């Protein structure tokens, strides 16, 4: 007999929630979205009605107190990831927390300790990592098709001309590095399979002290180098790519972040150049299946607390190198 589906509650009626969880849950029978809560109860009711969510709670605390909810999805503003994730874990809930994991590495470490104390699953929602495209790129590198890896690059730049968007607010831990840049750090770390040090970084800042763009150079312990760029408003405008340069060739990926919409994988080797497409469902569906497997079966996940802490440490180091004002 099949087990009951994992019952999830959503903290906040966030714009990302339908794409990241509600629609994927409709395609994953092992999961269901049971409830939602928002600061504005009326907004929560409208959100629930629009997306067929059966239960609306008047507050975040009421949602966490619901004994029928097994796990929480936390898409709140970045500065609220740590406090509400920790409270959810203390309430006995598993947590799928949106990226970036926290406002800084110290908060991430607190979250990791809270998950260990509670004995609950905690996953950072780096959905890109769960699509088969990553496994394919990793297989190409592991097979030595481009020789010894020497340099990696990751770029994720978008235009965000919305001055009231929360990603422009310093008090909510906004900024380009936190929003799109956290992906580039994750991509570089996972493709390299190692932790980098920050060599240099340059930020472009708003008057409110938020980075609208960031560039950074990194170095790995074995001498490999890396470069990242990210932005919410810059001359780069729109970029989403990853490149790995080797001694005998190159692998490049257009749109490694959301490959289910469209992507292109190109491989240059001494034998010639080829293009590939890697079939698979949405990255969010892949992520949800992995999260359910982690909760139900104890399956390992590549973006658990230990990985999240390491990613935040690199982000902190980039900000420090760029001279961010505290």
Q: What is the CATH number of the domain that holds 195?
A: 3.30.360.10
In this structure, are residues 160 and 257 in contact, taking their beta carbons and an 8 Å threshold?
Answer: no
Number of helical (H) and strand (E) elements in the chain, helices listed first: 11, 14
Angle at 127 between CA 123 and CA 129, to 5 degrees: 95
Which three-class secondary structure string do you get for 154-212?
A: EEEECCCCCCCCHHHCHHHCCCHHHHHHHHHHHHHHHHHCCCCEEEEEEEEECCCCCEE
Residue 65 CB: number of other CB atoms within 10 A? 11
**Is there a domain that residue 1 lies in?**
no
Same domain? For 181 and 256 the reply is yes
Question: What is the four-CA torsion angle of 127, 131, 135, 138, rounded to 10 degrees?
Answer: -50
Same domain? For 157 and 234 the reply is yes
pLDDT for the residue numbered 234:
86
pLDDT for the residue numbered 326:
54
Same domain? For 95 and 150 the reply is no
Same domain? For 93 and 25 the reply is yes
Same domain? For 213 and 119 the reply is no
**In terms of residue numbers, what domain contains 242?**
128-280+311-322
Q: Which one, of 101, 201, 186, lies nearest residue 152 by Cα?
A: 186
**Is there a domain that residue 29 lies in?**
yes
Same domain? For 168 and 106 the reply is no
Same domain? For 211 and 180 the reply is yes
pLDDT for the residue numbered 2:
66
Chain-centroid distance, C-alpha 245: 24
Same domain? For 139 and 185 the reply is yes
Chain-centroid distance, C-alpha 133: 16
Instruction: Look at the chain and report how many structural domains it folds into.
Output: 2
Question: What is the model's pTM?
Answer: 0.96
Same domain? For 237 and 105 the reply is no
**Is there a domain that residue 234 lies in?**
yes
Instruction: Please compute Rg for the chain using Cα positions.
Output: 20
Same domain? For 186 and 51 the reply is no
CATH code of the domain containing 97: 3.40.50.720
For residue 243, the cross-strand partners are: 153, 252
**Is there a domain that residue 21 lies in?**
yes
Distances (CA, A) of 309 to 46, 188, 265, 314, 318: 35, 15, 29, 9, 14
Give the residues of the chain that fall short of pLDDT 70: 1-2, 325-326
* pLDDT tens-place string over residues 206-229: 999 999 999 999 999 999 999 999
pLDDT for the residue numbered 187:
98
DSSP H helices, 1-131, are 17, 23-27, 41-51, 60-64, 81-90, 105-118
Residues carrying an active site annotation: 99
pLDDT for the residue numbered 236:
87
């Amino acid at each position: 007999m099949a087990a009951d589906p994992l019952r999830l509650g959503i903290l906040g009626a966030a714009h990302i929630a339908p794409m990241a969880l509600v629609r994927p849950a409709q395609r994953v029978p092992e999961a269901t979205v049971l409830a939602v809560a928002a600061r504005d109860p009326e907004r929560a009711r409208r959100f629930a009605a629009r997306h067929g969510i059966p239960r609306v709670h008047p507050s975040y605390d009421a949602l966490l107190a619901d004994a029928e909810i097994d796990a929480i999805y936390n898409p709140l503003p970045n500065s609220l990831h740590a406090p509400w994730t920790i409270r959810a874990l203390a309430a006995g809930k598993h947590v799928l927390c949106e990226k970036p994991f926290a406002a800084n590495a110290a908060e991430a470490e607190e979250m990791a300790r809270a998950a260990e104390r509670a004995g609950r699953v905690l996953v950072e929602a780096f959905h890109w990592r769960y699509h088969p495209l990553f496994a394919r790129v990793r297989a190409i590198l592991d097979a030595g098709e481009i020789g010894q890896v020497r340099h990696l690059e990751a770029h994720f730049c978008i235009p965000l001309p919305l001055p009231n968007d929360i990603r422009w607010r310093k008090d909510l831990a906004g900024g380009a590095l936190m929003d799109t840049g956290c992906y580039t750090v994750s991509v570089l770390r996972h493709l390299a399979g190692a932790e980098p040090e920050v060599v240099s970084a340059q930020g472009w800042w708003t008057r409110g002290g938020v980075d609208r763009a960031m560039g950074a150079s990194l170095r790995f312990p074995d001498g490999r180098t890396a470069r990242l760029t990210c932005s919410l408003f810059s001359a780069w405008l729109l970029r989403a790519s990853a490149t790995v340069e080797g001694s005998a060739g190159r692998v490049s990926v257009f749109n490694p972040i959301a490959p289910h919409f469209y992507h292109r994988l190109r491989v240059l080797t001494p034998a010639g150049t080829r293009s590939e497409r890697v079939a698979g469902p949405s990255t969010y569906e892949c992520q949800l299946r992995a999260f359910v497997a982690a909760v139900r079966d104890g399956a390992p996940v590549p973006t658990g607390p230990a990985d999240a802490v390491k990613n935040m440490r690199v982000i902190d180091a980039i900000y420090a190198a760029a001279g961010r004002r505290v």
